[in-house]
Amino acid sequence: MKLKIFIILTVLMATLSFAQEKKKEKVKFNQELATSLGADQYGMKPYTIVMLTTGTAKIEDKAKMGSLMKGHMENIGKLANEGKIVVAGPFLEKNKENYRGMFIFNTKSKEEAEQWVKTDPAVQAGVFSYEIFSWYGSAALPLYLKHHDEISKENP
C-alpha cells in the first residue's frame, strides 16, 4: 500500500513539475517591456499607495458635494492619463479604519504621491484625508489601464 502511494505521489510530482516547465517555456522574457515598465529582476517595482479616509469636513450642501465629487473623478482621470495613477477605486464596505478608497501611484516617492493627492478637490475641501504607504508590486500593473476603456461602457 505504501509503495502504491509513493508511486502515485512520484508520478503526480513529476507531472506537475513537467507542467510547470512547459508553462515556463511558453512565456518568453521581454527585456524591452521590462525596461519600459521599470521592472527589476523579479518583474516588480515600488509604488506608493494612498488610502483615502473620511475627512473632517461635513458638507451638507448636495450641489457642493456633487461638484467636489465630480472634480474628484476628473482629477483621477487626469492623473491616470498622465500615468501617475495606476489603480484607483472606492471600497464597497465600511471598515473600522474609515478607508473610503485607494490610489496606487506610479512613484516610489511618498512626497511626490502626496503632491498628486493634494490636487484632488475633495482632499482640498477636507471631504477626504489620506494615509500614504510604500508598496512593492508587479511592474506590469499599469498595463491594465490600457484595457479598461475597452471593457467599460460608462465612466462615472
Where helices occur in the chain by DSSP H, the ranges are 2-26, 31-37, 62-81, 110-117, 121-124, 143-151
Instruction: Find, among 29, 49, 19, the residue nearest to 136 by Cα.
Output: 49
Span 52-102, pLDDT tens digits = 999 999 999 999 999 999 999 999 999 999 999 999 999 999 999 899 999
At the topology level, CATH places domain 37-151 in: Alpha-Beta Plaits (3.30.70)
pLDDT higher than threshold 60 for residue 22: no
Please indicate whether residue 109 or residue 19 has the higher confidence score (pLDDT): 109
pLDDT higher than threshold 70 for residue 121: yes
Whether 39 contacts 139, CB under 8 Å: yes
Alpha carbons 102 and 38: distance in angstroms, whole number: 22
Percent of the chain with pLDDT over 70: 83
* Main-chain phi, psi angles of 69, to 5 degrees: -70, -35
pLDDT higher than threshold 90 for residue 34: yes
Q: Which pLDDT value is given to residue 147? A: 76
